[in-house]
Each structure stands twice: as C-alpha cells, then as structure tokens.
C-alpha cells in the first residue's frame, strides 16, 4: 500500500521533471541553473554561501553554478562591502527578465500536468502535500 504510494509518487515526479525540462528548453538553461535563478529572483541579492544553502548544495558547487550564469550575463558578483571575504550575487537586468520568463514557462508546463485535476482535487492535493512536507 505504501510501496504503491511511493511508486505513484515517483511516477508523477518523473512526469513533472519531464515537463520542467520541456519548459526550460527554449532558454537552454540547465535545471540547476534555473533553480539558482529562481532563488535569486525570489530573495534578491545574497551571498554565495546563502545561495548554496537555498539550493541545498555545497558552497563550492554554488560557485560553479554562479560561474555559469555569470558567463551568460544573467547574474553578477560584487564584493560584500561589509565583509571583504564574501561576494554578493544578484540578477542582472537580463537575469531578471529571463528568470521571470522561465518562471512563467514552468508554471505553464506545470499547469498542463495538473490540468488533469479539478479544483477540489487540487485543494486536496495541496493540503496533503503540505502535511507531508513538514516533519510535524
């Protein structure tokens, strides 16, 4: 019974991943890059180590993702004025519009998946997921 629940979960996750990949294709931005863009878009300028925390990855790995985005002029680094060891990362103008566009595309793709549910089911699903996501 639970095995079935977990399996069903993985199956849907897989579909969601494919939809997301689809949504990202036009910008050829990798999933991990898009996650970083999302974090910076939602929370604004922050330290590199903070990006790492948000993405649940090691600081060294965040350096790489940010390198890639910087190479594409989607983010920029500047020294943290309050601590000369740290560097702050923020979206560029290009980064802001790209992040927004990607967000919309992703939402549209997700909508295509969740369109199978009527409003009541969506509410139910949201409630159940909320219960599962926190260890209460």
Q: CB under 5 to 8 A by kind: which of a second copy, DNA, none does 61 bind?
A: DNA
SS3 4: helix
What residues line the site for DNA (CB under 7 A)? Answer: 30-33, 47-49, 55-61, 63-66, 77, 80, 83-87
What is the C-alpha separation between 61 and 107, in angstroms, rounded?
A: 27
For residue 75, the minimal CB distance to DNA (Å) is 12
Residue 1 vs residues 6, 7, 130, 132: alpha-carbon distances, Å: 9, 10, 21, 17
- Give the number of other CB atoms < 10 A from CB of residue 25: 10
**Cβ distance to a second copy smaller for residue 81 or 135:** 135
Instruction: For residue 33, give the 3-state DSSP assignment.
Output: helix
Contact partner at residue 85 from a second copy, DNA, none, CB < 5 to 8 Å by partner kind: DNA
Confirm or reject binding of residue 84 to a second copy (CB under 8 A): no
Location of structure tokens 């990006």: 51
Q: Which residues of this protein are in contact with a second copy, per CB under 8 A?
A: 1-6, 8-16, 20, 56, 103, 106-107, 110-111, 113-114, 116-117, 121-122, 124-126, 128-133, 136
């Amino acid at each position: 019974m639970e095995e079935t629940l977990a399996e069903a979960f993985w199956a849907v996750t897989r579909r969601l991943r494919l939809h997301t990949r689809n949504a990202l294709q036009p910008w050829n931005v990798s999933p991990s890059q898009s996650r970083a863009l999302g974090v910076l878009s939602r929370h604004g300028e922050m330290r590199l180590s903070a990006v790492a925390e948000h993405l649940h990855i090691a600081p060294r790995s965040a350096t790489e993702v940010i390198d890639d985005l910087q190479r594409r002029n989607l983010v920029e680094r500047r020294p943290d004025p309050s601590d000369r060891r740290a560097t702050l990362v923020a979206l560029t103008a290009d980064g802001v519009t790209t992040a927004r566009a990607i967000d919309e595309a992703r939402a549209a793709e997700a909508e295509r998946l969740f369109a199978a549910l009527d409003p009541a089911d969506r509410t139910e699903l949201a409630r159940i997921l909320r219960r599962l996501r926190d260890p209460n």
